[in-house]
Amino acid sequence: MPTLENLNPHAPFPADRARQIARAFAPRRPWGNWWDYSYTRIKLGSDPLYPGAIAALRHHPAPVLDLGCGLGLFAHAMRAAGLEQPYRGIDIDAAKIRRGQKIVQRTGLAGVELQVHDLSAGWPAHHGSVTILDVLQYLDGPTQHALLNDAAGMLGPDGVLVIRSTLAEDSARGRTSLRADAWAHRIGWMQARPVHYPTAQGLRQTLEAAGLQVSLQPLYGNTPFNNWLLVARR
């Protein structure tokens, strides 16, 4: 599959490329479960999350630790976009990790490792880049604060911290995001309920106090959600 070197960081993957990437998540038989394929295709084709995160990582060759990786879809998106950084993804959902591991093995995705890990109980040692994509709201305030400080300490000279999160705002987008997160938990896609949505000011204060330079911008594209992309580096 030819790589995409010039993705628009504020738009989702083109429909044909979203379909190609999602094909790895299709069942091997027509009568299998098509949920993962349908989810990944819709996610890639409608949400600018991964192009935005890829743009932030493109010129940072350090290994990537993806906290809350789910099925490991970001690793597939990275490789499709030509990023070759070693990737380790961790997530509390053992079923998603098992499915993701099988897909990595089946597709021969190089330099990718997926592990079961509960962020509420801590996180592994790492030195490089860190991504935290649509995860923070599932951690309480003190755990978020500790994670952000430790993630800042993980950054190597070529590392960058990339966060996509819904921010706490009393707005139409904010309320839609809360309802969508509650629905994802209700149907069983997310094991945990959201417990604490961060604020823009809180994220900035924590990371700047840790010695990082922070940029923050909307990354919701055509979706109705209140999602923002934060990129921090030394």
Residues 6+ apart with CB under 8 A from 130: 64, 65, 67, 151, 154, 155, 159, 161, 162
Show the domains of the chain with their CATH numbers. 50-233 (3.40.50.150)
- Decide if 167 contacts 144 (C-beta within 8 A): no
Q: What is the pLDDT of residue 191?
A: 55
Strands 161-166 and 213-218: unpaired
Average pLDDT of the chain to the nearest whole number: 90
Distance in angstroms (rounded) separating the CA atoms of residues 24 and 175? 33
- Number of residues that make up the chain: 234
Which DSSP letter does residue 165 get? Answer: E
* For residue 190, pLDDT beyond 60: no
For the stretch 82-95, pLDDT in tens is 999 999 999 999 99
> How far apart are the C-alpha atoms of 62 and 20, rounded to whole Å?
27
35-39, 157-161, 193-197: range with lowest mean pLDDT: 193-197
153-170 per-residue burial string, b: 16 or more CB within 10 A, e: under 16? ebbeeebbbbbbbbbbee
What is the model's pLDDT at position 168? 81
What is the 8-class DSSP label of residue 128?
A: B
Express each pLDDT in 95-123 by its tens digit.
Answer: 999 999 999 999 999 999 999 999 888 88
Residue 227 β-bridge partners: 166
Residue for token pair 């993701």: 100
Would you say residue 211 has pLDDT above 80?
yes
